[in-house]
Amino acid sequence: MRDTHAIGDIAVSKIVARCLELGYKVSLPFGGGWSYDLIMDDNEKLYRVQCKHARIRKGKVAFNVCSVKGNKSDHRTETYEGKVDLFLAYCTDNNKVYIVRMDQSTKSVMTLRLTPALNGQEKGVQWARDYEF
């Protein structure tokens, strides 16, 4: 069985390391119940960041941009709208971090294309390379 807490911790640690490599200051909230996982400081502005674990599926990097609350019989999804500024997603399959602003995200699953669509569609495609952090 997958240890989702360990997977999440690895994603956060990789994301924190990438932020530090790029010269950002990082603060982690104390205690539980926060809607964000870290604060990223660029010396001008503070950003509330939700860290996500991403996987490659069918030529796309995919990660959830909502949270699931409740249990198996009574679960609901909640968006992070108004609660975070950025999503930073660490993809274990290619060891890359992707950045997506809250206003660029979808309602539940964000997908960033790595390879061309089989039907040749290019209009409206969100290329993963444009979101690398």
Summarised one tens digit per residue, pLDDT across range 20-64 is 999 999 999 998 889 999 999 999 999 999 999 999 999 999 999
Summarised one tens digit per residue, pLDDT across range 64-121 is 998 776 666 666 778 888 899 999 999 999 999 999 999 888 778 999 999 988 777 7
This prediction's pTM: 0.88
Domain that holds residue 87: 4-131
Cα angle 18, 111, 98; round to 5: 10
Give the C-alpha separation, 88 to 15, whole Å: 7
Residue 70 CB coordination number (10 Å): 10
Strand, helix or coil for residue 113 = strand
CATH of the domain at 63: 3.40.1350.10
The structural domain count of the chain equals 1
